[in-house]
Chain A
Amino acid sequence: MMEKTNYRRNFLKNLSLGIGSFVMFSGFKLKKEAKVENYPFTGISQGEADEIIKGGKFPGNISIRPEPAPKGSKNI
């Protein structure tokens, strides 16, 4: 007599295999990304930048005629 296939068990087996391999492969990806050479820098938040801008006496005394304004609209 043929054994009845247990679909639920098979599904759960495959699910655990799937999750296992996903974790394994994403681990590889993380390792690869971590290989990108790094260089040190100290970031500044926008709030801090805004404080510097408000208190800063810049740009300096230079005065110069600007080139023509663009025709298009702002993209950012």
Chain B
Amino acid sequence: MENNEKDNSRREFLKKVPVLAAAGTVGVAAGLSGCNSEIMEEFLQKNFKTLTKEEKKEIVKNLEKKYSEKYGKEFSVSDKPATEGILFGYALDLSRCVGCRRCVYACVEENNLSREPQVHWIQVLQMEKEKGIDLHHANIHYNPETVPEEGHFYVPVACQQCRNPQCTTVCPTKATWQEPDGVVVVDYNWCIGCRYCMAACPYGARHFNWGEPTIPAEELNPVTHYLGNRPRTKGVVEKCTFCIQRVREGKYPACVEVCPVGARKFGNLLDPDSEIRYILENKRVLVLKQELNTQPKFYYFFGI
């Protein structure tokens, strides 16, 4: 009797499975048919790394059209790949930095960072000279009439573009990776916003879009790169890319150009004649949280 009941319940369950599966399929189909083809295409788009040249061209063309219509100005979206023989590196002279935050706002403008909610890829830490480099007690909210303040020094921090990045290894969708030129990038179309990468980054260099980013249309930078400063949406993670849209065209990152005291240096680590190599070979350099073996390509040095 008991066995019979058991058999019946199994049969009942098996009967329901195809019905539920069919209902699910109809539901998904109905949902998808409600979407327009553009959203569908974006949703089904392959990971950027796996796209062919033709597919990239098509996607870039569609994005340019979409952004131009949305923001009312001509947009260019580059998909320029890394150049062979280039490994980008950065050096910052701690003895020159005065903590003026010009770099922070140049980055905001260049990379189309959200004004509200505010996203800053660079944070300038003010520290007391007496305590040395003390990340825990550093202050980012200093606001005196003029800088530098007596007895203080400044440590700007952004993505350290690690050679051994932990953020990329934890990503469950492989939406973030290190390019051959050393820049760690995010495919915003593949990011699901799980924020594992943010938890893995020991430098706090990744930022989540908690809200829909807002940027005044007249302040938008229309010169973009697919893996860099193209407009992002709510729910994705973003980070410094060394201004990938600029450096792959042979320009300096915006923060390097704007620095009024020339504290920021940038170049090709594989070029023995580059300024960055000169610094690495002739100055003693410091990397943040060296003990974690993330091997940053962002070096701090003392020019004095």
Q: Residues of A with Cβ closer than 8 Å to B?
A: 36-37, 39-46, 48-54, 56-60, 62-76
Contact = CB atoms under 8 A, between A and B. Distances in A.
Given A50-B133, A74-B125, A67 B98 contact: no
Interface residues of B, number: 60
22 contacts: A37-B270, A39-B89, A39-B277, A40-B280, A45-B290, A46-B290, A48-B284, A54-B129, A56-B153, A56-B304, A59-B95, A62-B148, A63-B147, A64-B147, A66-B142, A70-B118, A72-B120, A74-B125, A75-B123, A75-B203, A75-B204, A76-B203
A63 B105 CA distance: 19
Contacts of B2: none
Q: Label chain B's interface by main secondary structure.
A: loop
B57 interface: no
A59 B281 contact: no
A45 B89 CA distance: 20
A31 to B, nearest CB: 16
Contact of B260 (A52, A64, A69, A73): A64
Contacts of B101: 66-69
A76 B204 contact: yes
B138 A56 contact: no
A53 B123 contact: no
A43 B287 contact: yes
Interface string B256-278: 00001100000001100000010
A42 B105 contact: no
Contacts of A68: 101, 143
B285 A59 contact: no
B102 interface: yes
A59 B148 CA distance: 7
A64 B153 contact: no
Contacts of B143: 66, 68-69
A27 to B, nearest CB: 19
Nearest to B148: A59
B37 interface: no
A74 B97 contact: no
Contact of B135 (A39, A69, A72, A76): A76
